[in-house]
Amino acid sequence: MTIRRFLFIYLGLVLIALITGYWLLCLILLALPILPLLVHQWRRHYIIKPLFHQLQQSMPKISTTEREALEAGTVGWDGQLFTGKPDWQQLLSNNQHALSAEERAFIDGPVNELCAQLDDWQISQYQHDLPPAIWAQLKQQGFFGLIIPEYYGGLDFSPLAHSHIVMKIASRSITAAVTVMVPNSLGPAELLLHYGTQQQKDQYLPRLANGDEIPCFALTGPEAGSDASNLPDTGIVCQHEVDGEKIIGILLNWEKRYITLGPVATLLGLAFHLYDPDHLIGDQHDIGITLALIPTDTPGITIGRRHSPMGMAFQNGPNWGKDVFIPLDYIIGGVEQAGKGWRMLMESLAAGRSISLPALSTGAAKMACQTTSAYARIREQFHQPISHFEGIADIIGRMAGLCYMSDATRTVTAQAVCSGEKPAVLSAIAKYQLTETMRQLVNDAMDIHGGKGISLGPNNLLARIYQAIPISITVEGANILTRNLIIFGQGSVRAHPYLNQEIACFDLADNEQAVTEFDRLVTAHSKYTLSNFGRCFIYAITKGYFSKAPESILKRYYQQLNHLSAALAVTTDFSLMTLGGSLKRKESLSARLGDVLSQLYLASCTLRYFEHNQADDDAIFAQWAVSNAIFNAQTALLSFTDNLPNRVLGRLLRLIIFPLGQRYKKPDDKLTHALSAKVTEPSDERNRLIDGIFQPSDANEPLYKLERAFKLCSAAAPIEKRLKQAHSQLSEEAVQNGLITGQEYQLVKQAREARRQVIEVDHFTAELTEDGL
Ligand SMILES: Cc1cc2nc3c(=O)[nH]c(=O)nc-3n(C[C@H](O)[C@H](O)[C@H](O)COP(=O)(O)OP(=O)(O)OC[C@H]3O[C@@H](n4cnc5c(N)ncnc54)[C@H](O)[C@@H]3O)c2cc1C
């Protein structure tokens, strides 16, 4: 009998025992293969050693760049989620960062002033760039030096403050937000701070902080997009004569595109592959990816024309260099850091990815929520506000729940960076999930605005955000790649309590020592796996009822997440056991496990955010967001079991993680409509939900007019109702008859006028000029 056949019969018996309820027999059958494993020598010789050698040979080879990407950054809450029994106290007590008084003053002062001056319609439609006065303001007030220490003239703000600043600007102008975001994200300043020589820091950081240098960072080229480590741009170490003197330097040739701020940059951060054929700086020929800082006026550099990314007006374009000679000290960190560029990029990616796009996406999400909840209340069709229709309430409720979740994830992820974490996997989740959530929310907002959202013009508050969505989806790791390859691929290796260490054993030089270490790890891993199998099965039946969770009005959600965390741990081990290294190539499967991890993280952030904010009235938002994430995680797990190549194993896994079938439901209509009701009337909950985005104080601003009309219409609603019930018009007669007071007459009149103003859309001349606007 083949092993395969034996295994099927064995698993079949286990299954029959399980289905027919012979639990004891099932346990005995499960325990049988374990017994010999308990004998130490036997196990080491007959099981561990052959297993070790087989795995060592079959493991897919990991390239240096892949390894560097895998090992970059830190593991935080993702590690807990993989344990199968997350320590919630740790989540709730860690990283308690808040804005300092100075940061708060900057956000309420210079950031508000900047936002007030931004006219996004003019910028994107006509100027195609930020006006010179705005560029000057950005430089003078330190917007380009948010992350640079005070010692070098920067503002030295925390990642949380940085996130708030980008969020607020994004709600006003995506062009301005990207312009501020890029110098403070992965680029020259960030790289210099971590790897630069003292001389490089002294030379560049003060000039970057005050905007004398405009930086850009160029990695992507025509042939190197998502697979950026495979870049064809070269640097050759060679001797060159400069002013009659022979010096060792690098001869560069490159072609880059899509480089943000590239067209106006004075300082180019460049990634290229370095070779040293004459061994002038060491004995290696192929040194590897290297990063350098190069003034853009260096001979041989061409700064190309501009791209037009979805009509946004931020500066973005190609550049290339032909035989550009640079001295060795242009390498970031000097010769010592030559060849370590990929590691540097991967290590630095996490901080920027945790902040920039999550902040921009949340700004857009809040803007979508604010405008849509107000507009739906103001806009009347079929003689009532459209917010009263269930179809609209379904969508607005969902928008509110997702917006709350976005803000929670943005905040909690930025707080982790404040504590010194460089969340490799969690930043990828935040980037992917929040940009996708923004896409959903902005699409929803457009649907509810109907023609008002479609008609471009200065009064359209959504169209530019809508246009910009694909940019956020594509940059900093395109979303399909991030979902399919990065989140679980990197998460399982980095955050799994044993896997990474087990893989590391295969690289140990001493084979005996490697087998001993492997044995120790596999034994611990097996205990962990078995306890998760048991825990998961029991939690699945009870929906985690008896599991440990913080005392909270949301306690049951923590317990349900305990079940799903155990299910993720079990499913991970199960799939590693059955699919091994091939899981890496099975992107559709690994993406689903990435979704489970993502949803558990989103739910965790929401719970922590809710507990910290101490606003019990917001519980419905948290409930909606967490139960939605729980449902999504369950869907991903079930769909994973449905698509395992071996159907029998898929069913077996399903029996362990969901023996009673689906356990969790989508947020129900009642809850969704309750959220919608909260935000389509003025309320503290709504104010908190949209807190942090720019609120203009100029009465001519479209957003100001919208909010004013929203409040007036809401206040006038009971009077309108009285008039309607009395079949009366708004008239002097109604006042004289005592149906309404004079004040009420004025209120309704104002509300109707304000409403009328808001529902207007822009129109242009036949040539689409603004004459008469
Ligand atoms: C507006 C804008 C600004 C930018 N700014 C900069 C900058 O300042 N500096 C810089 O260096 N770069 C910048 N970029 C480049 C950006 O990082 C790349 O666009 C991005 O890495 C994707 O590369 P690509 O566009 O060539 O897409 P491709 O790599 O061609 O990808 C196409 C599609 O294939 C998917 N895909 C690729 N591989 C896989 C896989 N293994 N599994 C599943 N799906 C996969 C991707 O997710 C994507 O959906 C910018 C881009 C834009 C559009």
Residue 3 is predicted with a pLDDT of: 63
| High-pLDDT (> 70) share of the chain, % | 98
* 270, 344 contact by CB (below 8 A): no
Please report the pLDDT score of residue 612 as a whole number.
95
Cβ of 467 closer than 6 Å to ligand 1, yes or no, is no
Cβ partners under 8 Å of residue 607, min gap 6? 88, 91, 552, 554, 557, 558, 561, 622, 626
Is the distance from the beta carbon of residue 309 to the nearest atom of ligand 1 less than 6 Å? Answer: yes
Beta bridge partners of 251: 236, 325
Q: Percentage of the chain surpassing pLDDT 90?
A: 80
- Provide the 10 A C-beta neighbour count for residue 243: 5
User: If you measure from the C-alpha of residue 485 to the centroid of ligand 1, how many angstroms do you get, rounded to a whole number?
Assistant: 14
Q: Is residue 272 lining ligand 1, measured as CB closer than 6 Å?
A: no
Indicate which atom in ligand 1 lies nearest the CA of residue 227.
Answer: 29
Average pLDDT for 749-772: 91
Helix (H) or strand (E) holding 267: strand 267-275
Report pLDDT for 24: 78
Q: Is the CB of 488 under 6 A from ligand 1?
A: no
Question: What is the rounded average pLDDT of the residues 759-769?
Answer: 91
Q: Give the number of the atom of ligand 1 that is nearest the alpha carbon of residue 260.
A: 8
Q: What pLDDT, on the 0 to 100 scale, is given for residue 160? A: 97
Q: How confident is the model over 624-638, as pLDDT tens digits?
A: 999 999 999 999 999
Q: Are 419 and 98 in contact (CB under 8 A)?
A: no
pLDDT in the model for residue 2: 63
pLDDT at residue 773 is higher than 70: no
Ligand 1 centroid–CA 474 distance in Å is: 5
Which pLDDT score is estimated for 294?
98
For the chain, the C-alpha Rg in angstroms (whole number) is: 29
Poorest-pLDDT segment among 152-156, 338-342, 372-376, 584-588: 584-588
Q: How far, in Å, CA of 494 to CA of 352, rounded?
A: 19
Is the Cβ atom of 471 under 6 angstroms away from ligand 1? Answer: yes
Annotated active-site residue in 476, 502, 685, 744: 476
| Average of per-residue pLDDT values in the chain | 94
Q: In this predicted structure, what is the pLDDT of residue 41?
A: 75
Of all protein residues, whose CA lies closest to atom 6 belonging to ligand 1? 259
Among 106-110, 269-273, 611-615, the range scoring the smallest mean pLDDT is 611-615
Burial of residue 150 (number of CB atoms within 10 Å: 0-12, 13-18, 19+): exposed
Lowest mean pLDDT among 269-273, 602-606, 664-668, 764-768: 764-768
pLDDT of residue 291: 98
What residue owns the CA closest to ligand 1's atom 52?
258
Cα atoms found within 13 Å of the Cα of residue 388, Cβ hemisphere only: 10
pLDDT at 52: 82
CB of residue 475 inside a 6 A radius of ligand 1: yes
Report how far ligand 1's centroid is from the alpha carbon of 225 (Å).
5
Determine whether the shortest distance from the Cβ of 94 to ligand 1 is under 6 A.
no
pLDDT of residue 772: 55
| Weakest mean pLDDT among 46-60, 139-153, 416-430 | 46-60
Buried b (16+ CB within 10 A) or exposed e, 100-138: eeebeebbeebbbebbeebbbbebbbeeebbeeebbebb
Best residue among 174, 175, 220, 344 to mutate for probing ligand 1's pocket (most ligand atoms within 8 Å of CB) is 220
164 CB burial (10 A radius; 0-12, 13-18, 19+): buried
Average pLDDT of the segment spanning 537-554: 95
pLDDT of 275 higher than 70: yes
Residue 319 pLDDT: 98
Q: Which of 179, 181, 186, 226 to mutate to test the pocket of ligand 1 (most atoms within 8 A of CB)?
A: 226
**Confidence label for 510 from pLDDT (cuts 50, 70 and 90):** confident
Confidence of residue 53 (pLDDT cuts 50, 70, 90): confident
Is the Cβ atom of 259 under 6 angstroms away from ligand 1? yes
Ligand 1 atom showing the smallest separation from residue 477 Cα: 21
What are the pLDDT digits (tens) for 211-242? 999 999 999 999 999 999 999 999 999 999 88
**Which ligand 1 atom is at minimum distance from the Cα of 271?**
11
pLDDT by residue (tens digit) across 333-358? 999 999 999 999 998 888 889 999 99
Which atom, in ligand 1's list, is nearest to the CA of 220? 11
- Write down the pTM of the prediction: 0.93
Q: Which of 34-38, 443-447, 504-508, 560-564 has the lowest mean pLDDT?
A: 34-38
**Which uninterrupted H or E stretch holds 671?**
helix 669-679
**Residue 533 three-state SS:** helix
Counting from 1 in the atom list of ligand 1, the atom nearest the Cα of 476 is 17
Q: Positive or negative, the Cα torsion across 630, 557, 677, 692?
A: negative
> In this predicted structure, what is the pLDDT of residue 767?
84
Q: Rounded to the nearest whole angstrom, what is the distance from the C-alpha of residue 476 to the centroid of ligand 1? A: 8
The 3-state secondary structure of 118-156, one letter per residue: CCHHHHHHHHCCCCHHHHHHHHHCCHHHCCCCHHHCCCC
* 150 included as an active-site residue: no
What is the DSSP code (8-state) at residue 279? Answer: -
Q: How confident is the model at residue 72 (pLDDT cuts 50, 70, 90)?
A: confident
Which residue's CA is the closest to the ligand 1 atom numbered 26? 225
pLDDT band of 761, cuts 50, 70, 90? very high
Query: What is the average pLDDT across 84-91?
Result: 96
For residue 320, the cross-strand partners are: 255, 302
Closest ligand 1 atom number to CA of residue 219: 11
Q: Is 372 in the pocket of ligand 1 (CB under 6 A)?
A: no
pLDDT tens sequence across 288-310: 999 999 999 999 999 999 999 99
Q: How confident is the model at residue 1 (pLDDT cuts 50, 70, 90)?
A: low
**Does residue 70's CB lie within 6 angstroms of at least one atom of ligand 1?**
no
How far is the centre of ligand 1, averaged over its atoms, from the C-alpha of 564 (Å)?
Answer: 32
Report the C-alpha gap between 362 and 461 in whole angstroms. Answer: 15
Return the pLDDT at 583. 82
CB within 8 Å of 187: residues ≥ 6 apart: 215, 216, 217, 269
Mutating to test ligand 1, I would choose from 475, 479, 484 the residue with most ligand atoms within 8 A of its C-beta, which is 475
C-alpha to C-alpha distance for 757 and 759, rounded to whole angstroms: 6
Q: Which residue's alpha carbon is at the smallest distance from atom 36 of ligand 1?
A: 481
